[in-house]
Amino acid sequence: MLAVAFLRAVNVGGTGKLAMADLKALAEEIDLGEPRTLLQSGNLVFDAKGKAPAKLESLLESEIKKRFGIETAVMVRNGAALKAVIARNPFPEQAKSDPGFLHVYFLKDETTAKHVDALRAAIKGPEKVEGAGHEVFIFYPEGAGRSKLTSATIEKHLGARGTARNWNTINKAADMT
């Protein structure tokens, strides 16, 4: 089954520089089938060959650290899981009208509704947050780049590390699976 690995903080703001050609080569060397990258922000599509997402996350994290000296969290979702995320989007209108402003925060560990409520209480701007479990949906009406809702704030309140991708990227990744 095809899967997608989302790497945290790769090629963002001058940190975690990792050429996608190098990521693809690494995936080939560790026997991930048919690896392809999407954009320059650390998205890898590959054949998981029946391996569990948690094992793939650990493998990719350790190999990236060993080969490139980059410590990054990796969140893996198989194609079915990614399509399920798309299907449960609580912001369908925003997905149509402003897909670049709708993000999914893929989490390493599960979060709870209580944590999401705490995050909502911490929001100082117009952002909207929904979800629980391993994914949280965030709509940034004024754009993520202008928002004061940072990854540090999100992770502090959700109690888990993660990485965000906008709706356009998520749909492209799902199409690749």
pLDDT in tens, 98-155: 999 999 999 999 999 999 999 999 999 999 999 989 999 999 999 998 899 999 999 9
What average pLDDT does this structure show over 7-25? 78
* pLDDT confidence of residue 9: 74
* pLDDT confidence of residue 87: 96
Question: Which residue reads 């026997």 in tokens?
Answer: 31
Residue with the larger pLDDT of the pair 8 and 85: 85
CATH of domain 85-176: 3.30.70
pLDDT in tens, 44-54: 999 998 899 99
* pLDDT confidence of residue 1: 85
What average pLDDT does this structure show over 172-176? 91
Residue 12 has pLDDT above 80, yes or no: no
* pLDDT confidence of residue 17: 81
Residue 27 has pLDDT above 80, yes or no: yes
What average pLDDT does this structure show over 15-43? 86
Per CATH, is 2-80 categorized as 3.20.20.70? no
Residue 13 has pLDDT above 70, yes or no: no
pLDDT in tens, 52-87: 999 999 999 999 999 998 889 999 999 999 999 999
Domain with CATH 3.30.70.1280 in the chain: 2-80
The gap between the terminal CA atoms of the chain, to the nearest Å, is: 8
